[in-house]
A and B are shown apart, each in its own frame.
Chain A
Amino acid sequence: MALLQIAEPGQSPQPHQRRLAVGIDLGTTNSLVAAVRSGLSEPLADAAGQVILPSAVRYHADRVEVGEDARAAASGDPLNTVLSVKRLMGRGLADVKQLGEQLPYRFVGGESHMPFIETVQGPKSPVEVSAEILKVLRQRAEATLGGELVGAVITVPAYFDDSQRQATKDAARLAGLNVLRLLNEPTAAAVAYGLDQHAEGVVAIYDLGGGTFDISVLRLTGGVFEVLATGGDSALGGDDFDYAIASWIVQQAGVSEDLDPGQQRLLLQTACAAKEALTNNATTTLSYAGWQGVLSREQLDALIEPMVARSLKACRRAVRDAGIELEEVEAVVMVGGSTRVPRVRQAVAELFSREPLADIDPDQVVAIGAAIQADALAGNKRGDGEELLLLDVIPLSLGLETMGGLMEKVIPRNTTIPVARAQDFTTYKDGQTAMMIHVLQGERELISDCRSLARFELRGIPPMVAGAAKIRVTFQVDADGLLSVSALELASGVEASIQVKPSYGLTDGEIARMLQDSFKNASDDKVARVLREQQVDAQRLLEAVEAALLADGERLLDADERVAIEAQMQQLRDCMAANDGLAIEQQTKRLTQITDAFAARRLDATVKASLAGRSLDEIEE
């Protein structure tokens, strides 16, 4: 527990016991899990020796199939086989329509605004589909590492908005994973390069995946990874190259654009194969529905040029946002399978006037970096003693709707997280007793051009003349990049707050149902597991408090406070002895609350100590 961890970062309470944690790259096309073993971060292979798990999920009436076999079945069973589900995460039906009629699924509406895919097993949300992929990776990790996982770092595109992040976290929850952190993919790649290749200075990470594009500019200094700016497009990736080739085929072959889902899948597979063939060849022959033709690399380059140009524009913007010039970028790193396309490499090299690096496999680098952070977060000390610090930013501005349908920015993009910022508003009508708070994300001025994250109402404002009330709205973004908002009327103390539940996220009801479904057959297991977890949590807290009391009890607590804490510790021990799960949970919570101020004082003391350049031990003398 944290009370203990003030000692030294990365130090495990029991140094001999390595705590198992993994990094997961949940990709559009492929997913991977990696872990640090014997000081080395590496992807974990399945029983057949395969590291990459295609992000394909096929629903059978009685089971779920994930990976290569599912992908192979996509054109034969298109309606029950979900590919590239990442593109649907945190999206509303309207967004999905915008992605085009390209998606060969039958969508149905759910309780929330999230689109559900109709399958042989009933409607499935993108969150559930993603959870299936995560479950397979979790099982693989537990089998390989030989134990239960403490948690996982899951990577997300840096440009993912709040809804997309929340959806990813929900999927991990459904898969039974404890999310240690959501980590931005380019930052994860930077960690891998920084630690294994000892990169230093200003580095740009160009990450073009199957469905998303990110560009991040970082400054690397001795284990500190400071993101200066990030940008991108959460709907631009290799899939779009495939669509461009597919529509070229349709044109050339003179076939109808009105395809059934099976034909559509086949067409996309043909397009994808042609794209891959052109990585090493100047031309490739392709055939589709009786038509045969040749696609040259020049033609491919022309087809994808608008998309490449879009990515370069995002690069220039990120460099500007970082407050530097293109020449100041000292290294460019390529991440994501789509950076294998020769035209992409060439364009990036031209923009930055330097050859991009691809020393670490672009398909694996994100998972490798994520595993390094997971290992550190789980409390395992790094072999080389180098301490990791990741300072990331929010990719998109956050703000509120104001009069006239305008967005007022509260936190601008590229602000370092965590961040908390408050802004004061007032009432505009006499006697107004309620105020609508509409939370938005985006760069445009009109609210209709921004993404609506949440709406909530502050009620019970005492009636006053217009402009007299002072309503303070506070935005807080945590280290996962997730937002919560609270509103407080300062004169009366009336308060309202929400953890932003994205408009396109799942409702609590939906999550409850899914969790129930997944535990249906394992309910006894679950009770036992929950009790065990409660016992472990309680024990850890007790040990942490004991250690903290020993270290700082004299210095930071008065006698009454100390007696209260010790009494509460005894209460908790009693419930643990009685194996009463509910009581353990309650008493653990109370012990946490009662030691709260103590924890805060210890943290303050550490900050002061580190300032003075002395260790805590020296101060205690």
Chain B
Amino acid sequence: MGTPCHFALFDLKPGFRLDLELLASRYRELARHVHPDRFADASEREQRVALEQSASLNEAYRTLKNPPQRARYLLALSGPELPLEVTVQDPSFLLQQMQWREELEDLHDSADLAGVAQFKRRLKVAQDELNESFAVCWDDASRREEAERLMRRMQFLDKLSHEVRQLEERLDD
């Protein structure tokens, strides 16, 4: 019995467009059945089985919930394993990346909270657009290379939003 595909686990068709509400409710349903709380009084071994099943359920949920991770997972399902870090051949995006980062550094230096909030909103818009582009691209099997490039962009923006959170934390000190 191999590891089932994350989508199959939730009884969903593999795809980038996902009904997140449905995913969440299936997750809760499954979690009810495998959560270790159901086995609090069971044998050690069965508790371990429940622990492992719950852990992989949580992992699958986490992967599908997050758009860049979902994109990456889809690509990995249908092709060779993707290295986590690669030298990205995406000059136009590289330029944009540098601009984002410079802006973030300026915000850090000026401790501009309103600026950070505005940056966050712009970032969110960019992420939504990118998700939409990936969804369109994913529907066309001949555009796999482009899909990979878009996924890398999504990963970058995800990292960037993480950095924004860290910046907010520092400015809160």
Residues of A within 8 A of B (CB): 1-3, 5, 9, 150-151, 180-181, 221, 224, 226, 313, 316-317, 320-321, 373, 376-379, 387-391, 415-421, 476, 478-479, 541, 592-593, 596, 599-600, 603-604, 606-607, 610-612
| Nearest A residue (CB) for B47 | A2
Report the interface size for chain B: residues with CB under 8 A from the other chain: 42
CB of B37, distance to nearest CB on chain A (Å): 6
Known: A3-B42, A420-B52, A611-B29. 15 other contacts (CB 8 A): A2-B38, A2-B41, A5-B39, A5-B41, A5-B42, A151-B41, A181-B37, A316-B172, A317-B169, A390-B37, A418-B54, A479-B51, A599-B46, A603-B49, A607-B33
Pair A320/B30 contact, Cβ less than 8 Å: no
Chain A residue, CB-CB nearest to B51? A418
Are A418 and B49 touching (Cβ within 8 A)?
Answer: no
List chain B residues, Cβ under 8 A from A226.
28
Which residues of A have CB within 8 Å of B38?
2, 5, 9
Contact of A1 among B11, B26, B46 (CB under 8 A): B46
B172 to A317, Cβ gap below 8 A?
Answer: yes
| A604 to B58 alpha-carbon distance, docked (Å) | 16
B34 within 8 A of A: yes
Contact B41 A607 (CB under 8 A): no
Most chain A Cβ neighbours within 10 Å, of B30, B33, B59, B172? B33
- Closest residue to A2 on the B side, CB-wise? B42
Q: Are B32 and A387 in contact (CB under 8 A)?
A: yes
Q: Bound state CA distance, A2 and B29, in angstroms?
A: 18
Contact digits for B13-40, partner A, Cβ 8 Å, 1 yes 0 no: 0000000000000101111111111111
Contact A2 B46 (CB under 8 A): yes
**Given A391-B31, A476-B51: A593 and B36 interface contact (C-beta under 8 Å):** no
Instruction: For the complex, give the distance between the alpha carbons of A349 and B20 in Å.
Output: 32
Contacts of B69 in A (CB 8 A): none
Minimum CB–CB distance from B132 to chain A (whole Å) comes to 20
Q: CA separation between A152 and B39, bound complex, in Å?
A: 14
Residues of B within 8 A of A150 (CB): 41
Q: Distance in Å from the Cβ of A463 to the closest Cβ of chain B?
A: 27
Q: Is the CB of B40 within 8 A of A181?
A: yes
Shortest CB-to-CB span from B97 to chain A, Å, is 22
Asked if B55 is an interface residue, CB under 8 A from chain A, the answer is yes
List B contacts of A377 (CB < 8 A).
Answer: 37, 40-41
Q: Which chain B residues lie closer than 8 Å to A417 at the CB level?
A: 58
Q: B148 near A: Cβ within 8 Å?
A: no
Is B35's CB under 8 angstroms from A389's CB? Answer: yes
Q: How far is the CB of A597 from chain B (nearest CB, A)?
A: 10
Q: Is there an interface contact between B59 and A604, defined as CB atoms closer than 8 Å?
A: no
SS class, residues of chain B in contact with chain A: helix
Contacts A377-B41, A607-B33; A320 near B49 (Cβ below 8 A)? no
Q: Can you list 27 A-B contacts (CB < 8 A)?
A: A1-B43, A2-B38, A2-B41, A2-B43, A5-B42, A9-B38, A180-B40, A226-B28, A313-B173, A320-B168, A377-B37, A377-B41, A389-B35, A415-B58, A416-B58, A418-B51, A418-B54, A419-B59, A420-B55, A476-B51, A479-B37, A592-B44, A603-B49, A604-B1, A606-B34, A611-B26, A612-B11
Instruction: Please give, as numbers and ranges, the residues of chain A lying within 8 Å of B172 by CB-CB distance.
Output: 313, 316-317
B33 touches A610 (CB 8 A): yes
B14–chain A nearest beta-carbon distance, Å: 15
Alpha-carbon separation in the docked complex, A379 to B51 (Å) = 18
Contacts of A390 in B (CB 8 A): 37
Check if B165 is an interface residue, CB within 8 A of chain A.
yes
Asked if B53 is an interface residue, CB under 8 A from chain A, the answer is yes
The 10 closest A-B pairs by CB, nearest first: A2-B42, A2-B46, A377-B40, A420-B55, A479-B36, A2-B39, A418-B55, A592-B43, A418-B54, A611-B11
B124 to A: closest C-beta gap in Å? 11
Q: Which residues of B contact A (CB under 8 A)?
A: 1, 9-11, 26, 28-47, 49-56, 58-59, 61-62, 165, 168-169, 172-173
- Tell me the smallest distance from the CB of B119 to a CB of chain A, in Å: 14
Determine whether the beta carbon of B28 is less than 8 Å from that of A603: no
A378 contacts which chain B residues (CB < 8 A)? 40-41
Are A389 and B32 interface neighbours, CB within 8 A?
yes
**A607/B30 in contact, CB under 8 A:** yes
Inter-chain CA distance A341–B41, complex, in Å, is 41
Closest A residue to B43 by beta carbon equals: A592
Write the chain B residue with the least CB distance to A599.
B46
- Find out whether the CB atom of B49 lies under 8 angstroms from the CB atom of A599: yes
- Say yes or no: A603 contacts B53, CB within 8 Å: yes
A604 CA to B54 CA, complexed, in Å: 12
Complex: A478 Cα to B35 Cα, angstroms: 10
A227 to chain B minimum Cβ distance, whole angstroms, is: 12
Question: Which residues from chain B contact A415 at a C-beta distance below 8 Å?
Answer: 58, 62
Q: Which residue of A has the minimal Cβ distance to B162?
A: A412
**Is A1 a contact of B35 with CB atoms below 8 Å?**
no
In the assembly, what is the distance between CA of A387 and CA of B28, in Å?
A: 12
Whole-angstrom distance between the alpha carbons of A599 and B38 in the complex?
14
Specify the chain B residue showing the minimal Cβ separation from A19.
Answer: B41
Residues of A within 8 A of B36 (CB): 418, 478-479
Question: Would you call B30 and A611 a contact (CB within 8 A)?
Answer: yes
- In the bound assembly, the distance between CA atoms of A419 and B59 in angstroms comes to 7
Contact present for B62 and A3 (CB under 8 Å): no
B contact residues around A476 at 8 Å (CB): 51, 55
B37 close to A389 (CB less than 8 A): yes
Q: Which residue of A lies closest to B40 (CB)?
A: A377
CA of A378 to CA of B42, assembled, Å: 10
CB distance from A486 to the nearest CB of B (A): 13
Contact across chains for A180 and B169 when beta carbons are under 8 A apart? no
Cα–Cα distance between A172 and B62 once the two chains are bound (Å): 33
Residues of B within 8 A of A606 (CB): 33-34
Give which listed residue, B26, B37, B39, B43, contacts A376 with CB less than 8 A: B37
Among B26, B37, B40, B44, find the residue whose CB has the most chain A CB atoms closer than 10 A.
Answer: B40
Name the B residues within 8 Å of A419 (CB-CB). Answer: 55, 58-59
* Cβ-defined contact, A320 with B169, below 8 A: yes
Query: Taking the nearest CB of chain B, how far is it from the CB of A331, in angstroms?
Result: 20
Cα A255 to Cα B133 in complex, Å, equals: 72
Distance of A2 Cα from B43 Cα, bound (Å) = 7
| Chain B residue at minimum C-beta to C-beta distance from A391 | B31
Tell me whether A607 and B34 are in contact in the complex, defined as CB-CB below 8 angstroms, given that A313-B172, A317-B169 are known contacts: yes
Given A387-B32, A592-B45, A603-B34, does the pair A418, B58 have CB atoms closer than 8 Å? Answer: yes
Specify which chain B residues have a CB less than 8 angstroms from the CB of A592 in the assembled complex. 43-46
The winner among A151, A377, A390, A603 for most chain B CB atoms within 10 A is A603
Q: A328 → chain B, closest Cβ, in Å?
A: 15
Q: How far is the CA of A541 from the CA of B46 in the complex (A)?
A: 11
Nearest CB of chain B from residue A593's CB, rounded to whole Å: 7
